[in-house]
Structure 1
């Protein structure tokens, strides 16, 4: 009898723990995994309304010959390979500066740089649209400083439209990554830097030989999250350039939206394009893990 009561007392904490997380697990399954499975099944269908039916891999075959999808994919990758490295390096540089114990008003600077992250995506996108308009503040400033002779077509020129999107994303998300680096820097023992200074290491050498290696896990984390965010880019493109001019800035997420709600609704093919983002995220995350030398 005593052994049975001991066994029950040992099992009780386990069941209590499962009871606490059961509601969260059910909600995650209902609102995350179930829609994901349904979207995967939907990607094998075509048609509208009650006329939807299975077509096998037709949607996936269409994907490889879709010129609009290829354009959206190229644009998204262009944003990715330019904006993510710039943002990561900038966030790392700013975090090192703001971690200096001799710097005054650190709280103000940290808040100011992080503040764009909590602004509304739509609101800040609209502000950027007007700032970079033909008669916007940026063009007026450059004209007054005599840096340009004619207004730059930030929104209507394919090249400058891409630059505008990259600037907007970098402005909003640099502070987000900066917070992670600041948290990690404050956990590095100052005695490591003191020993390096005694050995004659310059600040630049300390940065590359101490700071960067110790921040490697955080750099990997922010690189992956930034990659995922850029592959899902939507609000900035829709509100600043509307994907134009001529699909020059259309992202994959905007193309999914157009397939679902703007063009003739084709939810099956939209689900197929959605799963292309899933595949890209998995592949790029795997590559980043390998490039960082993480074998786990």
Structure 2
């Protein structure tokens, strides 16, 4: 009889190595992500201050849907989402298509120029736009110089124009970020596919809709989900550009949660309930996007 081999088999070693790499990462995700989610939900069911928190059921959630300022912040956030995200992603795809052209000179320079806004500090770029659109800022001075305006317009003091300033700022900063993903997707498409379409007589627009967009669909879905996630958690622009004004006309959900938690008398239970509501919104919209974009049988 042959003696039994001691030690682990190759398959067992591979499984052990897999668990060795998986466990630390899973533990960190559980500690840094899942535990705070559970803890936030528990706190959202409580009211009180500091150590005097007590169970209150779903009263914070009921209050949330009766809070006019919070409902307004939800409306503002979805206003930014509906207008800004499609504009930004369409621009990103078009710029990626343009800057993926093999015959374009200085492609690297132009790509860097488009991406640079993304590397700008969130606070810095918000303050720059605040100065640009001030009553005595560059935009007003340019419009007065062109004879379009007689006096400076208060862009940040008017509810609708302030919202559009935030949208312009978001598009300026995040278009290049999404363009990089589309560039990566385009560079994975075989150039022979475009050459075959050209031989078949397809023009640039038809090639774009029939070849580029379908092959970029996974990337489009990914950037759409990321953009929705980012917009629903929009904070810096609302705080630094308009401070939520005028009269809460531009305040976002994250900004209102911050105010409820740190600016006014701290109400962690109510802030946690609103945060959990944002989390559920992100999850639902991400699920819908994945289902709509899933073309598998």
Instruction: Give the match's secondary structure for 1:50.
Output: coil
TM superposition shift of 1:212? 0.6
TM superposition shift of 1:11? 1.7
TM superposition shift of 1:102? 1.0
TM superposition shift of 1:7? 4.5
The answer for the alignment partner of 1:278 in structure 2 is 279
TM-score between both structures, scaled by the size of structure 2: 0.95
Alignment of 1:66-81 (within 5 A): 66-81=67-82
Structure 1 residues 248, 2: closer, same or farther in 2, change over 3 A?
A: farther
TM superposition shift of 1:271? 0.4
TM superposition shift of 1:108? 0.6
Is 1:289–1:295's contact at 8 Å kept on the other side of the alignment? no
TM superposition shift of 1:17? 2.7
The answer for the alignment partner of 1:26 in structure 2 is 27
TM superposition shift of 1:164? 0.5
1:265 aligns with 2:259: no
TM superposition shift of 1:4? 4.9
Is 1:126–1:240's contact at 8 Å kept on the other side of the alignment? yes
How far, CA to CA, are the matches of 2:102 and 2:124 in structure 1? 35
How far, CA to CA, are the matches of 1:100 and 1:9 in structure 2? 48
* Number of matched pairs: 296
How far, CA to CA, are the matches of 1:148 and 1:188 in structure 2? 48
Q: Cα RMSD over matched residues? A: 1.6
The answer for the alignment partner of 1:187 in structure 2 is 188
The answer for the alignment partner of 1:126 in structure 2 is 127
Instruction: Give the match's secondary structure for 1:208.
Output: helix
TM superposition shift of 1:23? 2.5
Runs of 4+ in 1 over 6 A off after TM superposition: none
Report Cα offsets for 1:26-77 as digits up to 9, x if no partner.
Answer: 2222222111111110010010011111101111111111111110000000
The answer for the alignment partner of 2:179 in structure 1 is 178
Structure 2 unaligned spans of 5+: none
TM superposition shift of 1:291? 2.9
Alignment of 1:48-87 (within 5 A): 48-87=49-88
TM superposition shift of 1:262? 1.2
1:169 aligns with 2:170: yes
How far, CA to CA, are the matches of 2:14 and 2:284 in structure 1? 40
Most deviating of 2-11 and 112-121: 2-11
How far, CA to CA, are the matches of 1:11 and 1:63 in structure 2? 52
Most deviating of 115-124 and 14-23: 14-23
TM superposition shift of 1:149? 2.7
TM superposition shift of 1:232? 0.3
Alignment of 1:247-266 (within 5 A): 247-266=248-267
Most deviating of 92-101 and 32-41: 32-41
The answer for the alignment partner of 1:117 in structure 2 is 118
Report Cα offsets for 1:177-233 as digits up to 9, x if no partner.
Answer: 000000111111111111111111110111111111111111111001000000000
Most deviating of 7-16 and 115-124: 7-16
Structure 1 unaligned spans of 5+: none
Report Cα offsets for 1:219-255 as digits up to 9, x if no partner.
Answer: 1110010000000000011000000000000000001
Structure 1 residues 278, 113: closer, same or farther in 2, change over 3 A?
A: same
